[in-house]
Structure 1
Amino acid sequence: MTGNALWLIASLLVLGLLPLGLVLRLGAIRLPLVFSGKVKVRDIALSRTSWPEDEKKVSNAFDNQFQLPVLYAVAVFIALAMGPGLLEVVLGWAFVVSRYGHAAIHITSNHIFRRFWAYCIGLGLLWALWLWLIIRWVMLLASGVSA
């Protein structure tokens, strides 16, 4: 396995820590609220509306980790199958940093304009990665490489 492959896998592992950290934070917020009786289980069983704002911020940030990051994981596996280059590694790590930035904004100030730009940066990086992978795939096909 090449160094680029190891760095790309590392980016995916670091990205995987983000939802794990967010779910721990959710537990730290939710459990005391439920055990203290401030939030009733029946009020949250089918709807999130009874949770306080801080919980909603973290919960929404957690949910976001199952959107663009899923496409990133697929891109990583495709890159690994083709043999990743430095560009994939750089785009990948930049995407991971953008996701941490987006989540940090989401769970703190939740400043919509900043959060939007953090999201757009990540989306742009993901688009660039996917386009590059498609270009590489077409070049591999054109060169006569077979499965």
Structure 2
Amino acid sequence: MSGSLTTPMAAHVALAAFLYVLLTAARAPAVWGIGRRSDGSNPWVGVEARISANLSNQFEWPLFFHVACLLLLQFQASLAALALAWVFVAGRVLHSAVQILGRNVRLRGIVFTTNFLAVLGLWALVVLAAGGPPVE
């Protein structure tokens, strides 16, 4: 597995950008009248709130992902760090799909747990790379 931690970080940024585009398209019937139904309603009203919630999710736990990656970039990032970063990004994409396209809370929880553990793994690598926990 080759590459830099900046690649999965950029992939997560691309996911957030895609969600902004998707949210704009879902709001187009209400905001600009583009794609309204003949009765004037928005055909995307049911999914718009889920897209918006998912977009908000991209600025919660992922913050810890980006900070861990930035810190690991200061050290020699290992293949383990790169693998965990890609697990996180793949999990975020899957989490977005599950949250936006369905209502399976159990599956969403499993995917979130995977993302959560990947970031905790990255932070464990940060602590190890920095020389372990401080000694008092």
TM over 0.5: yes
Query: Residues 55-74 of structure 1: matches in 2 within 5 Å?
Result: 55-74=48-67
Structure 2 unaligned segments of length 5 or more: list them.
Answer: 34-39
User: Contact 1:102 / 1:115 at 8 angstroms: preserved in 2?
Assistant: yes
Alpha-carbon distance between aligned partners in 2 of 1:89 and 1:128, rounded to the nearest angstrom? 11
Q: Which runs of 4+ in 1 moved over 4 A?
A: none
User: Contact 2:91 / 2:115 at 8 angstroms: preserved in 1?
Assistant: yes
How many pairs align?
128
Structure 1 unaligned segments of length 5 or more: list them.
Answer: 40-50, 143-147
Tell whether 2:128 aligns with 1:135: yes
| Structure 1 residue 52, shift from structure 2 partner | 2.8
| AA in 1 matched with 2:118 | L
Alpha-carbon distance between aligned partners in 2 of 1:137 and 1:110, rounded to the nearest angstrom? 41
| Structure 1 residue 33, shift from structure 2 partner | 2.2
Match of 1:78?
71
Identity across the alignment (%): 24
Alpha-carbon distance between aligned partners in 2 of 1:52 and 1:112, rounded to the nearest angstrom? 20
Match of 1:19?
16
Match of 1:34?
31
**What TM-score, normalized by structure 1, do the two folds share?**
0.78
Alpha-carbon distance between aligned partners in 2 of 1:85 and 1:35, rounded to the nearest angstrom? 48
**What TM-score, normalized by structure 2, do the two folds share?**
0.84
- Which segment is superposed worse, 89-98 or 26-35? 26-35
Match of 2:5?
8
Alpha-carbon distance between aligned partners in 2 of 1:67 and 1:83, rounded to the nearest angstrom? 26
